[in-house]
Amino acid sequence: MQKVFRNYRNVLIVTLALCAGCAAGSTTGGAFAPAGSSAIEQAARVHAALGKPEPAHRAGGWLSPAAKHAKQLIYVSDFTGNAVEIYSASGTGQSPIGKITDGISGPEGNCVDAHGDLFVTNVTNQTITMYPHGSTTWKLQYTGFAYPTNVAVGANGMVYVDDLVGEKVVEFPRGKTRSKLTIDVTYPQGAALDSKNNLYVSYNTGSHGGGPGTVNEYAPKSTKGTDLDLPIVWSAGDAIDGSNDVVVADQGSGNNAAVYVFPPGSTTPSETITQGIEDPFRLAFDSTYKYLYVADPEVNALLVYDYSSGTLVNSITSGLSSVYGVAVSPAPK
């Protein structure tokens, strides 16, 4: 039987692609999109009743002492829960030790920068919100997107946002919410940076955002990328490991979903991770690259792998209703 998430994804891409002009034109000055855009969201995500976007500021977040002071934390975007749940990076089968709700509205991608600040993409209210380490209140808000689905921050503090429907990746200087650079990319889904701040964007090249997928590499300040020509069926998130391997979540077609590891310059994966995976969406590493974290909304779990062997060692489900994004603090070096 065809997966629920596969149905969602097909409806999502086609509906939003056909209505991209309407959605993009409705985002100004951080204001919420009008009713037409909300209807698009509901049509796209037929598996969830979203209602209207959450307000810019919303109470309800909390931090335990461990969440406020610990340096090794896992942040999970819970899309239908309109929250980012926080877990200790230690142990197995963890329960939440904190929650962020302020500004969160349909969260998908998230990441942590070198200072421990958390960035979250909110597709329902079309914003990215930044939370200083130890805070549940956003300090910066980025606007001007049709469908912000993912975010990455380089070692130099540059912030990169994937706008799926806007078909672009937007760069922001550290601490600034006015963009300086825009890269045109068809249906971007992933954004990752290496230690030299080269940007890797996974995206899909088919009609209305369908596969096949691949990854482009961009030098700092460049809007012209090099297609790495990776054999991806349907691109989702990507990441760069400590050896500069390109790690890509492939949502596949049918039962061939996997996470692939491509050494620099190679189009043949050196490792294929499939255990427990149904629809890998977003990826993250811990700071030592010992563990790979995979957000899989189809199994509704955060899957944790021993990266060297590709073995599933932990699955986090407590407190989660729809697992879409993941970040780990501290960020990889």
Residue 87 banded pLDDT, cuts 50, 70, 90: very high
Residue-averaged pLDDT of the chain: 87
Mean pLDDT in residue range 203-231: 94
Structural domains in the chain? 4-329 (2.120.10.30)
> Is pLDDT at 191 greater than 70 in this prediction?
yes
> Is pLDDT at 185 greater than 70 in this prediction?
yes
SS3 for 185-241, per residue?
A: CCCEEEEEECCCCCEEEEEECCHHHCCCEEEEEECCCCCCCEECCCCECCEEEEEEC
Mean pLDDT in residue range 104-115: 96
Question: What is the model's pTM?
Answer: 0.88
Residue 55 banded pLDDT, cuts 50, 70, 90: confident
> Is pLDDT at 204 greater than 50 in this prediction?
yes
Q: What is the DSSP letter of 300?
A: T
> Is pLDDT at 253 greater than 90 in this prediction?
no
Best CA proximity match to 71, nearest among 91, 83, 92, 89: 89
Residue 46 banded pLDDT, cuts 50, 70, 90: very low
- Per residue in 7-27, pLDDT tens? 344 444 434 443 433 333 333
Q: Can you give the pLDDT at residue 51?
A: 54
